[in-house]
Amino acid sequence: MVVANSLPIYLTADVRRIETLASAQAGPPPLMERAGLAAAELARDQLLADRKSTLVLAGPGNNGGDGFVLARHLKSWWYEVAVVFAGERARLSPDAAAAHDAWLAAGGTTLNAAPHRHFDLVVDALFGIGLEREISGSYAELIEYIDRQPGAVLAIDIPSGLHADSGRVLGRAVRADHTVTFIALKPGLLTLDGPDHCGQLHLRDLGLTAEALAEAPGRLVTSQILTQTLAPRTLNSHKGTFGSVGIVGGATGMTGAALLAGRAALKLGAGRVYVGFLGSDAPRLDVLQPELMLRTASEVLAMDGLTCMVLGPGLSQSVAAFDAIEQALQAPVPTVVDADALSMLGMHTELQEICGARNASTILTPHPAEAARLLQTSTGEVQQDRVHAARELARRYRAHVVLKGLGSVIARPDGQFYINISGNPGLASAGMGDALCGILGALLAQGATSETATCAAVFLHGHAADRLWRQMSGPLGLTASEVIDAARAALNEAIYRDVAVNPTSTGLST
């Protein structure tokens, strides 16, 4: 586990196994009763304070059963509740059938079609985490009905139409204002289209400790990673204590990418940063960051004493770039492979073989199109299942992998994965990837492990963008240079929050 006390993430098959084990071990009430009550309490306490009417759309499976339980509790608390049942009683599971019958026994009724009126709260209990097929026909019409309602929308476990393992939309999906999910987090709530459909996410464990029943294949990256990555510096420090980063990139016309990565590495704490340019128009001095040491790519590649290497920002896809990648991958230091270096790696089996045989750690940071090249597939296939794609990349290249995008997926070679949810659309801007790989290089140079550095860099990059959103009241016009400075401030705050600044190096008080 890289992040202490971080929340586990489970795939659908894992959740089903947990439910089976819990049902065999636990006494009453059944899990469906617990889930329906938890959802009803959330609706009552947070969504119905100034509202009265609720419509529950109950589907043909256990998700519908949760909806019947919620409806029964809200009715007992004197709320106006209407239920549309989009299924057949005879085809319900025993638990869902019992919930249906209990709703009727409490005086409730069911409708066959959605009424032509507005409700203060609409509860989506149509489909749960087991959905695999595309939604169409009358179910698609019900989802359209939900999305037209002016009141708040609460989805039970997952918005109907959203794939629980991947976050992709199966034809149509509910756009909820709130989603209450049970037992543990699922990847589809956190990546791809999930966050756009879930609204505010609420987790209810139903009294279960999931990790006591099944090992979690994934975890959520949280702010705690920052305090685990680097310790406060001792007073007796010097620049050699904090490592040397070598950055190789900057082909003709693309020097800015390498400079951005270098600035990020320097400002996030690396002791020395060497930027090696491949192009003929390489600058001799970065006037905005004169502390950077600018060299040719061949000079940086020949250096002894580098702590880590960042390969790819503005590198191009030339013969010279191939030679630089080949040489860099043979260096015995942790190496971040980004941008054009990833595309070249995907195109050349010789480079793939060198990468797979490395003894030092490798970190790949592809966006979906680059991941597709590395996997010899399409961008669409990568996005169909981002967790699977990231894990396959990590396995195939024996690397730690960051599959960038909404809900970036970080995978280890052994299949363990993490999902990061910091960040916002302001990161959809030029140079952001260069900033990220520079931040990652800085953390590696200062002694963080590849796993910890990768998770921390991705979280910090997004967290910095979130801070800037708050400062600027939105994401428009966010630049990579601003993110670098915000990331530096955030990392210092996390590490030194409880460290008093002493005016003297000796700590002398008179």
Q: What is the pLDDT of residues 99-152, one digit of tens each?
A: 999 999 999 999 999 999 999 999 999 999 999 999 999 999 999 999 999 999
Q: How many CA atoms lie within 13 A of 57 on its CB side?
A: 29
Q: Is 245 exposed, middle or buried (0-12, 13-18, 19+ CB in 10 A)?
A: buried
For the chain, percent of residues with pLDDT exceeding 70: 96
Per-residue confidence at 502, pLDDT binned at 50, 70, 90? low
DSSP state of 6: P
Amino acid at 313: P
First to last CA, the chain: 46
Q: Which residue matches tokens 């939309």?
A: 169
The predicted model gives 498-510 an average pLDDT of 59
3-state secondary structure 230-287: CCCCCCCCCHHHHCEEEEEECCCCCHHHHHHHHHHHHHCCCCEEEEEECCCCCCCCCC
pLDDT at 501: 63
CA 207 to chain centre: 26
Phi first, then psi: give them for residue 492, nearest 5 degrees: -60, -45
Answer yes or no: are the C-beta atoms of 21 and 214 closer than 8 Å. Answer: yes
With a cut of 50, say whether residue 503 has pLDDT above it: no
With a cut of 90, say whether residue 26 has pLDDT above it: no
Q: Is 305 exposed, middle or buried (0-12, 13-18, 19+ CB in 10 A)?
A: exposed
Boundaries of CATH 3.40.50.10260 in the chain? 8-216
Architecture of domain 224-496: 3-Layer(aba) Sandwich (3.40)
pLDDT at 215: 96
* Assigned CATH for 8-216: 3.40.50.10260
Answer yes or no: are the C-beta atoms of 160 and 174 closer than 8 Å. Answer: yes
pLDDT at 48: 86
Boundaries of CATH 3.40.1190.20 in the chain? 224-496
Three-state DSSP at 63 gives: helix
pTM of the model: 0.95
Q: Is the dihedral of CA 18, 24, 27, 33 positive or negative?
A: positive
With a cut of 90, say whether residue 418 has pLDDT above it: yes
pLDDT at 499: 77
Which of left, alpha, beta for 134 (phi over 0: left; psi -120 to 50: alpha)? beta
Phi first, then psi: give them for residue 378, nearest 5 degrees: -105, 160
**Model confidence pLDDT, tens digit, residues 279-309:** 888 899 999 999 999 999 999 999 999 999 9
The predicted model gives 257-278 an average pLDDT of 98
With a cut of 70, say whether residue 194 has pLDDT above it: yes
- Mean pLDDT of all residues belonging to the chain: 94
Answer yes or no: are the C-beta atoms of 7 and 185 closer than 8 Å. Answer: yes
pLDDT at 34: 96
**Model confidence pLDDT, tens digit, residues 66-85:** 999 999 999 999 999 999 99
